[in-house]
């Protein structure tokens, strides 16, 4: 198997796995990971024999703990806009795959990690999983499509609470709010996801793909305008001192002091 930070392989007939392999960094998303994910998504798109894609990661602690803070630390507004636009483009390509995409979340899915899971068609999580959008605590907002997709999943009020409180939510709460399709015992997560994926893959391949297209048509809206606006807002955060304080505090493992920054 490849040592790439993102691997793609066939698990069983009709089922392909996309696996992020950066456990030492809690599978954090940097430019390298996102670009490699783009390459693997494109290869999966051309796999006519696959009906299901399982999106998962290596390690027991985190699905994806977020974007790579150290990489973003000294971004200019232009760099931030390009990073946001790259993530949005790749996550949209993942979302637009003809196959059914199932996110398998075993641990932390925070910030960009939750945004990645939201790009899947549905999410199945371990009872130990945690979800949240902590970006405002860094002086930021979600920049990989999360402001748009979470509103569609939870509705405006719930989504805004998640985005502005920076709180972490248990798998049970996320399930009750409709974010997750299923919550499984931690030890049963992999086998449960594989069983469901194989069940879907056993159905008519053309019908499965057609069902996804029909369902997407039902929820279609002018989402691209929202994505572009989100990228503009994300990059604008880098024009002020708030994001520098938030990112620097994270790297230094201290609490940010936003109120001390001159308005």
- Residues with catalytic function: 115, 135
d(C-alpha 48, C-alpha 14), whole Å? 9
Contacts 24+ apart (CB under 8 A), 252-260: 256/137, 256/138, 256/139, 258/139
Tokens matching residue 164? 């502005």
Q: Are the beta carbons of 83 and 222 closer than 8 angstroms?
A: no
d(C-alpha 214, C-alpha 256), whole Å? 46
Of 146, 73, 74, 84, which is closest to residue 109 (Cα–Cα)?
146
Q: Which residues of 19-48 are buried (b: 16+ CB within 10 A; e: fewer)?
A: bbbbeebbbbbbbebbebbbebbeebbebe
Contacts of 157 (CB under 8 A, 6+ apart): none
Give the orientation angle of helix 189-201 with respect to helix 205-219, to 10 degrees.
100
Tokens matching residue 83? 């990073």
Pairing of strands 62-64, 52-57: unpaired
């Amino acid at each position: 198997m490849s040592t790439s930070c993102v691997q793609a392989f066939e698990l069983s007939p009709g089922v392909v796995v996309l696996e992020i392999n950066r456990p030492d960094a809690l599978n954090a998303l940097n430019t390298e990971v996102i670009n490699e994910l783009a390459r693997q998504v494109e290869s999966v798109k051309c796999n006519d024999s696959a009906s299901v894609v399982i999106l998962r990661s290596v390690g027991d602690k985190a699905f994806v703990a977020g974007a790579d803070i150290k990489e973003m630390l000294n971004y200019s507004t232009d760099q931030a806009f390009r990073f946001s636009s790259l993530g949005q483009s790749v996550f949209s390509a993942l979302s637009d795959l003809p196959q059914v995409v199932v996110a398998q979340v075993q641990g932390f899915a925070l910030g960009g990690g939750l945004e990645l899971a939201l790009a899947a068609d549905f999410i199945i999580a371990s009872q130990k999983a945690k979800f949240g959008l902590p970006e405002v605590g860094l002086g930021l907002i979600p920049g990989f499509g999360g402001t748009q997709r979470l509103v569609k999943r939870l509705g405006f009020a719930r989504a805004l609470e998640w985005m502005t409180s920076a709180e972490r939510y248990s798998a049970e709460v996320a399930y009750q709010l409709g974010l997750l399709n299923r919550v499984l015992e931690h030890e049963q997560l992999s086998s449960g996801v594989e069983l469901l994926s194989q069940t879907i893959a056993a159905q008519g391949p053309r019908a499965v793909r057609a069902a996804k297209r029909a369902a997407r048509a039902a929820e279609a809206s002018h989402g691209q305008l929202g994505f572009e606006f989100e990228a503009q807002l994300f990059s604008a955060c880098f024009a002020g001192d708030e994001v520098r304080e938030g990112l620097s505090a994270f790297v230094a493992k201290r609490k940010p002091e936003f109120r001390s920054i001159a308005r």
